[in-house]
Amino acid sequence: MLIGVDASRAARPERTGTEAYSLHLIRAMLDAAPQHRFRLYADRRLPGELDAPNAEPCVIPFPRLWTHARLSAEMLRRAPDALFVPAHVVPLAHPRSVVTVHDLGYLYFPQAHPPFARLYLDLSTRWNVRAAAHVIADSAATRDDLVRRYAARLDKITVAYPGRDEGLRRVDDAAAIEAVKRRHGIAGEYLLYLGTLQPRKNLARLITAFSALRPAPSSLQLVIAGAKGWLYADIFAQAQRLELQGRVSFPGRIADEDKAALISGAVALVFPSLYEGFGLPVVEAMQCGTPVICSNTSSLPEAAGDAALQVDPLDTDALVHAMRQVLDDAALRHTLVERGYAQAARFSWAACAARVLSAIESVTCS
């Protein structure tokens, strides 16, 4: 059959979580289903990773209202058998559709989102649940939220865990790690956060916890790496208030070619997010053989399993204690690393694609 896919997020040159999700999942679907044709809709040229014999690019350039105006018009003109939307919203005009809903964090932590963004996310999620024939959730936590907060039918939701980037592996070359550290202004040992800078990631509290580490080597740094999201000014201000300049660094977005070395060189990944739809940085750290400290809320226990120290993200003392444990206990670090490799191996884009394709095939046959 002909499956349409909104590939607009996958086509963006700079990728955060939803863009990476779209790219990797679409690529896995192309590989998994050579019997189907895929029409990939985007507002700009598609990346080379999506070139495939069964992929038909459909570039529709238009700067505004692309989804509801231009993509809707394309659906009316020549609709595919089904439409899959991996990281956005179902267009107003659509055939039978499947959509991924990543998380409902804006409902649980509204203060962490600008008012307009919060309203748009609420309205678009309501529309997705109503308009789509089937919904993909990144985790059981998101599935349960959709049922509880939007009265979605349980039989209309499939949980499909995102996969891991199988090209991301531990870097053991000390010289390569040191080169990446120098490039990003890091000296000595460091704890790492990796992800978008925004209030929901709980980074001001992470900085407070880091300042409370006693005793702590003066050379130990906290590296908060990632692109600026929104409402991030207080994150930088907290480091200044606590006079941690030089010990807390913000290298910005990390290039893909630096990511494995940066993660591998860290003493631990610390990911105290208040709410996640899944939590890919947790799995990425485990792939790279780096111990993980993460929150015990939302979907993160599903991503982390028994391979991380899990803490209440609102408990600063618990976060301090977990960091102290990882810094002091080599045997604990070894255990977390070994469990992490096994946990990360549970997630693959091939498995995710198989579940998504099954949902798409089921809605076209119903």
Q: What is the CATH number of the domain that holds 357?
A: 3.40.50.2000
- Per-residue pLDDT tens for 302-326? 999 999 999 999 999 999 999 999 9
Q: What's the confidence (pLDDT) of residue 63?
A: 67
Same domain, 52 and 116: yes
Same domain, 228 and 94: no
Residue 293 has pLDDT above 70, yes or no: yes
- Enter the pTM of the model: 0.90
Look-up of token digits 């700079």:
14
Terminal C-alpha separation, the chain: 14
| Residue 29's pLDDT band (cuts 50, 70, 90) | very high
- Per-residue pLDDT tens for 228-276? 888 889 999 999 999 998 899 999 999 989 999 999 999 999 999 999 9
> Is 65 a member of any domain?
yes
Same domain, 16 and 44: yes
- Per-residue pLDDT tens for 333-354? 999 999 999 999 999 999 999 9
> Is 131 a member of any domain?
yes
Same domain, 339 and 354: no
> Is 128 a member of any domain?
yes
Q: Three-state SS string across the chain, please?
A: CEEEEECCCCCCCCCCHHHHHHHHHHHHHHHHCCCCEEEEEECCCCCHHHCCCCEEEEECCCCCCHHHHHHHHHHHHCCCCEEEECCCCCCCCCCCEEEEECCCHHHHCHHHCCHHHHHHHHHHHHHHHHHCCEEEECCHHHHHHHHHHHCCCHHHEEECCCCCCCCCCCCCCHHHHHHHHHHCCCCCCEEEEECCECHHHCHHHHHHHHHCCCCCCCCCEEEEECCECCCCHHHHHHHHHCCCECCEEEEECCCHHHHHHHHHHCCEEEECCCCCCCCHHHHHHHHCCCCEEEECCCCHHHHHCCCCEEECCCCHHHHHHHHHHHHHCHHHHHHHHHHHHHHHCCCCHHHHHHHHHHHHHHHHHC
State the total domains in the chain.
2
Same domain, 203 and 325: yes
- Per-residue pLDDT tens for 198-226? 999 999 999 999 999 977 667 899 999 99
Same domain, 353 and 327: no
> Is 168 a member of any domain?
no
- Per-residue pLDDT tens for 116-144? 988 999 999 999 999 999 999 999 999 99
Residue 14 has pLDDT above 80, yes or no: no
Q: What's the confidence (pLDDT) of residue 75?
A: 97
| Residue 329's pLDDT band (cuts 50, 70, 90) | very high
Mean pLDDT along residues 294-300: 96
Residue 365 has pLDDT above 90, yes or no: no
Q: What's the confidence (pLDDT) of residue 214?
A: 78
If one compares 45 and 63, the residue with the highest pLDDT of the two is: 45
Same domain, 316 and 336: yes
> Is 169 a member of any domain?
no
> By residue range, what is the domain housing residue 139?
2-163+348-365
Q: What's the confidence (pLDDT) of residue 215?
A: 72
Same domain, 331 and 256: yes
Q: What's the confidence (pLDDT) of residue 165?
A: 87
Query: What average pLDDT does the structure give for the chain?
Result: 94
CA dihedral 79, 82, 87, 92 (to 10 degrees): 50
Same domain, 202 and 125: no
Q: What's the confidence (pLDDT) of residue 45?
A: 93
How far apart are alpha carbons 309 and 323 in whole angstroms? 9
Residue 366 has pLDDT above 70, yes or no: no
Same domain, 338 and 228: yes
Same domain, 192 and 142: no
Mean pLDDT along residues 40-57: 96
Same domain, 219 and 123: no
